[in-house]
């Protein structure tokens, strides 16, 4: 593997030369003057002086060559709808949405919060924002009022774009009441709410605030809204993600660096060709949806499938039927989804013509070997794992067959991608680990490559303090993941170093869940840990000390309170954050200085050795948890 090794080496040693070449993969309105300005580390500015537009690169620039080719393919097995938009039609719809946003007073640099199910209007809204230089902030539709309110408060949007409802497994999930409650909770009040009415769930309109999309769109059927050329460093979006504290961080992304990074990844990693179809079965509420449902494939001139529904409805062959129907060449999903399919008939994998499909990419959580084997054999296609984060926007570790074909190794996402100067640090000494097979914290030496987060939205200090630390003479970004590198340069990811858990590919902070549970009036104290789960990778487990032990005299009372607490979490954060179980104890294991021993609780739950317990204040607290299990 010398070609990739050289490619990677050059991306670090001749950073500017390397990325200047990659920058030619997108259209620039005004050429950049400087490739990377890293004069104020850890802040990196990419393609300084250049002007471009994400929406132009995703949509407009394809009109000359592929206006009538498929661009957006919407499939809903929830509402039995299917609709294909060509690049020309997508261009028209994005302009209509952009005209509506302008009508509602959105200006360049304003935030627009998008709280929507997986419908085409959500894609139009994202592209319309970047078209006019507004900053979108998509909030996952599975989040409830509390999560939504904290994001509205932080993003301070001018407009919220939403819909009456989503649907999951045939059940309508009303969004509007959750949004109304979030807007009531939030101290920031957006001027307007633009509502897409799918006719799924009747809703109340607030006078002077709520505007229906359909009639406003009618007014703008012919309105032309040109792309606003923005500086390469102009923020394109923020996307909130969980960390150690209860307050989610707004990951802020630029424009030019992101467009270049995605275009490069489509070429070197995913190997997508213009005119082909990409199917990323994720959600626009997550980073995979931003990079590889919307922007990446469209920038590459590919059609992208936006799928609303479960992978097993009407049956577990639905995805493969779409691969056949739309001649999908690349597919992307999370290991959890494959583990769900694995419970169904493997014959469904081969029932359809999959000759168009080249590769299945998986990301978001550890890929276990049985799952990888099952799907690779079942499909008879290569499976490529890739490791990255909301913060980075595109893969840190994988293999790049577009540069040089490389073998995959079970249990490893692959090696460091170009642009990422990946290192492992010893947790205790902070020193770099250079020998193979040593376990350390996976870090990236600054600057982060194009496409990665610029900062935490409106909180530079938090960006610096959360992610960066100095090791002799160098500044490194922490991924908060444990890793090991073997002698061939392949990394193995061993889980998070912080209190982030990964439930069915959804990243959640245990602190957020604890805060939500604490708000229940019966709860005195709570600890939430992630526990290994066969299907979901991890699930959240809550251990609660109640204020009045007499309030749960028997098992029936405990079961009722458990249900009540789960409802609290559902209502505030959403069902994705609901713990699998809430168990009651009389004390939580803590150190003598009062720190919760979450790791020890987690180890006990996973039947592992809890390790050094010399600092524990009351060993019986841990024993209680052991006895419960
Ligand atoms: O712990 C790592 C895990 O997911 C975290 C990032 O989650 P999120 O911000 O939602 O971004 C997902 C983008 C694909 C990481 O810190 N993770 C992600 N991919 C993998 C993974 N763990 C193991 N293997 C992976 N391929």
Tokens of 185: 């909770």
| Minimum mean pLDDT range among 59-68, 288-297, 523-532, 613-622 | 613-622
Question: Residue written as tokens 């009441």?
Answer: 177
The pLDDT of residue 259 is above 90: yes
Q: Are 535 and 545 in contact (CB under 8 A)?
A: no
Could you read off the pLDDT of 311-333 as tens digits, one per residue? Answer: 999 999 999 999 999 999 999 99
Question: Whose alpha carbon is nearest atom 10 of ligand 1?
Answer: 507
Looking at 205-313, list the stretches that DSSP marks H as alpha helix, in order from N- to C-terminal side: 213-219, 256-268, 287-289, 296-299
Expressed in angstroms and rounded, the spacing between residue 21 Cα and the centre of ligand 1 is 28
- Residue 289 binned pLDDT confidence (cut-offs 50, 70, 90): very high
User: Hey, what are 206's tokens?
Assistant: 């607030």
Using the predicted structure, report yes or no on whether residue 196 has a pLDDT greater than 80.
yes
Distance in Å, CA 365 to ligand 1 centroid: 5
**CA 7 to ligand 1 centroid distance, Å:** 24
Over range 126-138, report the average pLDDT. Answer: 98
Contact 24, 260 (CB under 8 A): no
Question: Does 183 sit in the ligand 1 pocket, CB within 6 Å?
Answer: no
Give the mean model confidence (pLDDT) for residues 498-518.
94
What pLDDT is stored for residue 1 in this prediction? 65
Q: Is 2 exposed, middle or buried (0-12, 13-18, 19+ CB in 10 A)?
A: exposed
492 lines ligand 1 (CB under 6 A): no
Q: Determine if ligand 1 sits within 6 Å of the CB of residue 243.
A: no
Question: Which pLDDT value is given to residue 107?
Answer: 98
Nearest atom in ligand 1 to the alpha carbon of residue 495 is 1
Pairing of the two strands 249-253 and 237-241: antiparallel
The runs of H, that is alpha helices, within 432-547 are 460-467, 510-518
Residue with CA closest to ligand 1 atom 24: 366
Any atom of ligand 1 within 6 Å of the Cβ of 496: yes
CA-CA distance, 425 to 421, in Å (whole number)? Answer: 13
- Paired tokens of 207: 């006078």
pLDDT of 246 above 80: no
Is the CB of 368 inside a 6 Å radius of any atom of ligand 1?
Answer: no
Q: Are 279 and 361 in contact (CB under 8 A)?
A: no
Structural contact between residues 298 and 277, judged by C-beta atoms closer than 8 angstroms: no
Work out which ligand 1 atom sits closest to the CA atom of 395.
Answer: 14
CA 594/CA 603 separation, integer angstroms: 19
Centre of ligand 1 from the C-alpha of residue 251, in Å: 15
Q: Which two tokens stand for residue 61?
A: 């620039």
In this prediction, residue 323 carries a pLDDT of: 98
Contact 541, 532 (CB under 8 A): no
Rounded average pLDDT over 535-541 = 96
Look at ligand 1, atom 21, and give the residue with the nearest C-alpha.
Answer: 365
Residues paired with residue 386 on neighbouring β-strands, in sequence order: 363
In which element (H, E) is residue 87 found? helix 87-103
Mean pLDDT within 466-494: 95
Q: How far out from the chain centre does Cα 586 lie?
A: 37
Q: Band of the pLDDT at 537, cuts 50, 70, 90?
A: very high
Q: Is 502 in the pocket of ligand 1 (CB under 6 A)?
A: yes
List, in sequence order, the alpha helices (H) in 390-542.
Answer: 460-467, 510-518
Handedness of CA 51, 56, 60, 61 (dihedral sign): positive
The pLDDT of residue 439 is 96
Cα–Cα distance, 355 to 287 (Å, whole number): 29
Confidence category of residue 2, pLDDT binned at 50, 70, 90: confident
pLDDT in tens, 335-393: 999 999 999 999 999 999 999 999 999 999 999 999 999 999 999 999 999 999 999 99
Give the residue whose CA is nearest to atom 25 of ligand 1. Answer: 387
């Amino acid at each position: 593997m010398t070609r990739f090794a050289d490619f990677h080496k050059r991306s670090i040693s001749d950073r500017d030369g390397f990325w200047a070449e990659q920058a030619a993969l997108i259209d620039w309105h005004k050429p950049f003057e400087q490739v990377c300005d890293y004069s104020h580390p850890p802040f990196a500015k990419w393609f300084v002086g250049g002007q471009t537009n994400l929406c132009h690169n995703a949509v407009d620039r394809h009109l000359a060559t592929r206006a009538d080719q498929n661009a957006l393919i919407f499939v809903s097995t929830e509402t039995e709808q299917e609709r294909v938009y060509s690049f020309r039609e997508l261009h028209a719809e994005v302009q209509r949405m952009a005209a509506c946003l302008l009508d509602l007073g959105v200006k360049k640099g304003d935030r627009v919060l998008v709280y929507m199910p997986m419908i085409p209007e959500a894609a139009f809204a994202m592209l319309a924002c970047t078209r006019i230089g507004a900053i979108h902030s998509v909030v996952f539709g599975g989040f409830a009022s509390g999560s939504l309110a904290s994001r509205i408060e932080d993003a301070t949007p001018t407009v919220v774009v939403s819909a009456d409802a989503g649907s999951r497994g045939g059940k309508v999930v009303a969004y509007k009441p959750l949004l109304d409650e979030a807007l009531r909770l939030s101290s920031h009040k957006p001027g307007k709410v633009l509502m897409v009415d799918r006719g799924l769930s009747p809703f109340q309109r607030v006078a002077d605030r709520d505007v229906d999309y359909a009639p406003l769109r009618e007014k703008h059927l012919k309105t032309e809204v040109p792309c606003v050329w923005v500086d390469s460093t102009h923020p394109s979006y923020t996307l909130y993600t969980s960390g150690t504290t209860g307050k989610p961080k707004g990951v802020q992304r630029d424009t030019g660096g992101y467009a270049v990074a995605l275009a490069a990844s489509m070429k070197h990693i995913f190997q997508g060709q213009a005119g082909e179809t990409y199917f990323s079965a994720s959600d626009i509420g997550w980073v995979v949806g931003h990079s590889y449902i919307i922007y990446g494939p469209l920038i590459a001139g590919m059609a992208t499938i936006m799928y609303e529904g479960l992978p097993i409805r009407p049956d577990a062959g639905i995805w493969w039927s779409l691969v056949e129907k739309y001649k999908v060449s690349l597919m992307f999903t999370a290991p959890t989804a494959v583990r769900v399919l694995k419970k169904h008939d493997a014959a469904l994998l081969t029932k359809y013509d999959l000759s168009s499909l080249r590769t299945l990419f998986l990301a978001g959580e550890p890929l276990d070997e049985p799952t990888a084997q099952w799907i690779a054999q079942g499909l008879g296609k290569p499976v490529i794992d890739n490791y990255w984060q909301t913060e980075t926007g595109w893969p840190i570790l994988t293999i790049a067959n577009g540069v040089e074909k490389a073998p995959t190794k079970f249990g490893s996402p692959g090696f460091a991608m170009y642009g990422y100067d990946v290192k492992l640090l010893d947790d205790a000494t902070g020193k770099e680990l250079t020998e193979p097979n040593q376990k350390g914290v996976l870090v990236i030496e600054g600057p982060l490559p194009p496409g990665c987060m610029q900062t935490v939205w409106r909180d530079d200090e938090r960006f610096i303090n959360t992610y960066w630390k100095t090791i002799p003479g160098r500044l490194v970004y922490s991924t908060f993941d444990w890793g090991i590198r073997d002698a061939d340069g392949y990394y193995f990811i061993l889980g998070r170093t912080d209190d982030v858990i990964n439930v069915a590919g959804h990243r959640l902070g245990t602190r957020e869940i604890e805060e939500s549970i604490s708000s229940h009036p019966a709860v005195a104290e709570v600890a939430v840990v992630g526990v290994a789960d066969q299907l979901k990778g991890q699930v959240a487990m809550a251990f609660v000390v109640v204020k009045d032990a007499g309030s749960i005299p028997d098992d029936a009372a405990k079961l009722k309170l458990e249900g009540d607490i789960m409802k609290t979490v559902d209502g505030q954060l959403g069902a994705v954050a609901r713990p699998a179980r809430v168990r009651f104890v009389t004390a939580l294991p803590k150190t003598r200085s009062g720190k919760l021993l979450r790791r020890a609780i987690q180890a006990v739950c996973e039947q592992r050795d809890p390790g050094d317990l010399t600092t524990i204040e009351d060993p019986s607290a841990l024993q209680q948890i052991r006895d419960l299990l």
